[in-house]
Structure 1
Amino acid sequence: MDGRDTYGEGTYGRGTTTYDEGAGRRPSAGRRPRVGLVAGGLGAYWPQFPELLPQLRRSAARVSERMRALDADVVDVGFVSDAREGAEAADRLRAADCDLIVGFLTTYMTATMLVPVAQRGGAPVLLINLQPTEAMDHDAFGTGQWLAYCGACPLPEMANAFARVGVPFRSVSGHVEDERAWSRIARWTRAAGVRAALRTGRHGLMGHLYPGMYDVSTDLTMVPGSFGGHVEVLEFDDLRVRTEAVGEKEVAAKLTEAREVFTLDDSVAGDDLEWAARVACGLDRLVGDFDLDSLAYYHRGLDGEIHERLGAGMILGASLLTARGVPAAGEYELRTSLAMLVCDRLGGGGSFTELQALDFRDGVVEMGHDGPGHLAIGEHRPLLRGLGVYHGKRGWGVSVELDVRHGPVTLVGLGQTRDGRYRLVAAEGEVVGGPLLRIGNTTSRVDFGADPGEWTDAWSASGVGHHWALATGRLLPDLRAFADLTGTELVEVGTAPGPGPGPGPGVGISAGPHCVA
Structure 2
Amino acid sequence: MSDIIESFETAKGNTFGDLLTLKEKNSSLKIGVLTVGFFEYWRMFPGTMRANVNEDMTCVYTHLCEVLDQDTVIWPGLIDTLDAADKAGKKLAEERVDIIVYVAGTYCPDYMAIQALEHIRHAPVILFNTQSSNKINLQTNYENILRNSALIASLQLAATFKKMGWYPDLKVVVGSIRDTEAYGAIKKYIRAYKVFQQLKNTNIGVIGHVFRGMYDFEYDKTMIKGTLGPNIIAIQVDHLLDQFSQADDEEIKMIEAETKSRFNIVGLSDNDVYQSSRFYVALRRTLERFRLDALTLLGQHYVEQKTGTTSYLANTMIHEEGKYIVNTEGDVHGLIIMTIMNELSGQMPTYAEWGEYDGELNALLMVHHGYANTNYATDRNTVKVNRSPEQWGLQGAGFGFEYTLKPGEVTISHLIIDAEGYKMLIVKGEALHIPTNIPCEEITGVVKFDTPIKPFLTTLIKEGFAHHCIIAYGDLTEELSMIADFMGIRKVIY
Question: What TM-score range do you get, normalising by the shorter chain?
Answer: 0.7 to 0.9
* Comparing 326-335 and 477-486, the one that deviates more: 477-486
* Comparing 95-104 and 292-301, the one that deviates more: 95-104
In structure 2, distance between residues paired with 1:451 and 1:318: 34
Amino acid at match of 1:295: L
1:283-322, aligned counterparts within 5 Å? 283-302=283-302, 305-306=305-306, 308-309=307-308, 312-322=309-319
1:72 corresponds to which residue? Answer: 70
2:301 touches 2:393 (CA, 8 Å); kept in 1? no
Amino acid at match of 1:403: T
* Comparing 288-297 and 115-124, the one that deviates more: 115-124
Report 1 or 2 for greater relative contact order, CA contacts < 8 Å, sequence distance ≥ 6: 1
1:327 corresponds to which residue? Answer: 325
SS at match of 1:218: coil
SS at match of 1:215: helix
SS at match of 2:215: coil
1:366 corresponds to which residue? Answer: 365
Q: Please, what TM-score do these two structures have when normalized by structure 2?
A: 0.83
Tell me, yes or no, if structure 1 residue 341 matches structure 2 residue 342. Answer: no
CA change 1:361–1:90 in 2 (3 A) is same
In structure 1, distance between residues paired with 2:311 and 2:93: 42
2:301 touches 2:392 (CA, 8 Å); kept in 1? no
2:175 corresponds to which residue? Answer: 174
CA change 1:362–1:111 in 2 (3 A) is same
1:369 Cα deviation (Å)? 0.8
Instruction: Extract unaligned runs of 5+ from structure 1.
Output: 1-21, 494-517
Tell me, yes or no, if structure 1 residue 57 matches structure 2 residue 58. Answer: no
Amino acid at match of 2:242: V
In structure 2, distance between residues paired with 1:254 and 1:356: 33
1:411 corresponds to which residue? Answer: 412
In structure 2, distance between residues paired with 1:120 and 1:179: 28
In structure 2, distance between residues paired with 1:318 and 1:179: 39
SS at match of 1:356: strand
Report the RMSD for the aligned CA atoms in angstroms.
3.1
Amino acid at match of 1:354: E
1:202-241, aligned counterparts within 5 Å? 202-241=203-242
1:349 touches 1:376 (CA, 8 Å); kept in 2? no
Instruction: Extract unaligned runs of 5+ from structure 2.
Output: 1-13, 15-20
1:105 corresponds to which residue? Answer: 104
CA change 1:57–1:303 in 2 (3 A) is closer
CA change 1:455–1:138 in 2 (3 A) is closer
In structure 2, distance between residues paired with 1:138 and 1:388: 71
Query: Per-residue CA shift, 1:44-89, capped at 9, x if unaligned?
Result: 4345444333333333333233223334312314223344544554
1:334 Cα deviation (Å)? 0.5
Higher helix share: 2
**Percent of pairs with identical residues:** 20
1:375 Cα deviation (Å)? 3.6
1:475-490, aligned counterparts within 5 Å? 475-490=476-491
2:402 touches 2:437 (CA, 8 Å); kept in 1? no
In structure 2, distance between residues paired with 1:27 and 1:281: 22
1:183 corresponds to which residue? Answer: 184
CA change 1:30–1:245 in 2 (3 A) is farther
Query: Per-residue CA shift, 1:171-206, capped at 9, x if unaligned?
Result: 111112112212222221221232133132222222
2:304 touches 2:392 (CA, 8 Å); kept in 1? no
SS at match of 2:217: coil
1:339 Cα deviation (Å)? 0.9
Query: Per-residue CA shift, 1:72-115, capped at 9, x if unaligned?
Result: 31231422334454455445445545443222222223333334
1:391-470, aligned counterparts within 5 Å? 391=391, 396-419=397-420, 421-434=421-434, 436-470=437-471
Q: Please, what TM-score do these two structures have when normalized by structure 1?
A: 0.80
Query: Per-residue CA shift, 1:101-134, capped at 9, x if unaligned?
Result: 2222222233333345378342321111232223
